[in-house]
Structure 1
Amino acid sequence: MAAVLVRPAGAGHESLFVALACCVILAAAGAVVGVRAAHVGVTVVEAHQLDARDGLSAAEQGLYADLRLVPIELTAWGGVPPAVAELAAALVPPFVADLGMAWRGAHSWSLIEHAGMSAYLGLSAEPAVAGSFLLVLPLVGEADSQPEIWLHRESDAAAPARFDAGFLVEAGWREIVSRFDAGVTRHKH
């Protein structure tokens, strides 16, 4: 019986071409990802502002979260800001006088109005726990406007005479802002 020896037909070259094709595909994919990657800018908080994520104490963050929901609750009153007593009776936080309020600075809330604008002022009994808050509501006809929330950490906080940003900054108030960027998940500790 005769044995026939059959040699491989260039298997070494074939493996080389497959590896080269894989490298070309990976390089092309890397180039596409690099070209199409969007630049993520970091939002800068101005000197008169506080970042809601890391510029507030735990008590202040809780009050800030409550105040952000107040404009939504006000839709039940037809856009007219009700008295603080009405909000407390409707159990709208942070106007409810409960144990949580005492833990978060024991704020004394009032509705103040100037030049057709309304705001809720919460003067803190314990500024070391949480500062005083001011929720400036947008004008009734301005559906696009967002309410502004301001914080005053000193014990001498008082009702402002005006609600414009320049006046509030001069009086020691700082605007609380929420910024969401790549730093939300990539924050250095």
Structure 2
Amino acid sequence: MSTTQVVRPAGAGHETLYVLLLCLIILAVAATVVTLHGETQEIAAVPSHQLDARRDLSPAEQGIYADLRVTLDEIQLLLQEQDALPTPEQLAKEGFAPFAQDASSVSRGDHHWQLLEPSAYLGVTQAPSISGSLLMRVHSAEPDIWLNRQANLAVPSDLTDQALIAAGWQQVVAQFDAGVTRQHRH
């Protein structure tokens, strides 16, 4: 005689319900924690004659801006050695971006650089649709960089703030807020 014993599966419906309930509890706790610890981001407005380096520049302009900031250290060293600012040709010969003519400089607007007296570099763009023209004044340890997106740009003769603003130049500023760096309060 053979006996057949039927084994019924365990109630999977209850286990599924418990797993879904646990998932909902975890999501609710996570949402509560995020809501309580979230910070509102206040974006500080810049004056109309200034541009935020992160938000208001095109990718090409951001690249040139970063290159100018990095090359400034080399310019300062060469200034100490020579007692004069190096020419854009000298900087290009040394391979310093954005003065060096390479594929990167061409794709970023193919700027033609010149030294303006007493202490400024002007890069006039050949492709205004990609990048504006840039001016870097090296009058102190902290330079200031200006941008002008006009197509037919006249070389500025007066490099004071008011004259540059009147000629349509905008100063590029770097703001560091919560969007850039995380603030951990312990």
1:84 pairs with 2:105: no
Asked whether the equivalents of residues 68 and 98 of structure 2 are also in contact (C-alpha less than 8 Å), the reply is: yes
Deviations 1:20-72 (A, max 9, x none): xxxxxxxxxxxxxxxxxxxx975331110000011001000000000112220
Number of matched pairs: 140
Three-state SS of the structure 1 residue aligned to 2:90 is helix
The equivalent of 2:107 in structure 1 is 103
2:173 match: 177
Residue 42 to residue 104, structure 1, CA distance change in 2 (3 Å)? closer
**Kept after mapping to 2: 8 A contact 1:88/1:95:** yes
Pick 1 or 2: higher relative contact order, CA cutoff 8 A, min separation 6.
1
**Secondary structure in structure 2 of the residue aligned to 1:62:** helix
Structure 1 contact 123–158 (Cα < 8 Å) conserved: no
Q: Secondary structure at the match of 1:71?
A: helix
Give the secondary-structure state (helix, strand or coil) at the position aligned to 2:73.
Answer: helix
| Aligned positions of 1:1-189 closer than 5 A | 43-79=44-80, 80-113=84-117, 117-138=118-139, 142=140, 145-184=141-180
Query: How far apart in 2 are the matches of 1:93 and 1:182?
Result: 30
SS of aligned partner of 1:111: strand
Alpha-carbon distance between aligned partners in 1 of 2:86 and 2:175, rounded to the nearest angstrom? 30
TM-score (norm 1): 0.69
**Which runs of 5 or more residues in structure 2 are unaligned?**
1-40
Question: In 2, Cα distance between the equivalents of 1:50 and 1:163?
Answer: 18
Q: Calculate percent identity across the aligned residue pairs.
A: 42
Cα deviation, 1:72-119, whole Å, max 9, x if unaligned, reads 011331342111111111111100011111100010000010xxx311
Q: Give the deviation of 1:175 after TM superposition.
A: 0.4
Q: d(CA) in 1 for partners of 2:76 and 2:180? A: 31
In structure 2, C-alpha distance between the alignment counterparts of 1:41 and 1:55, rounded to whole Å: 16
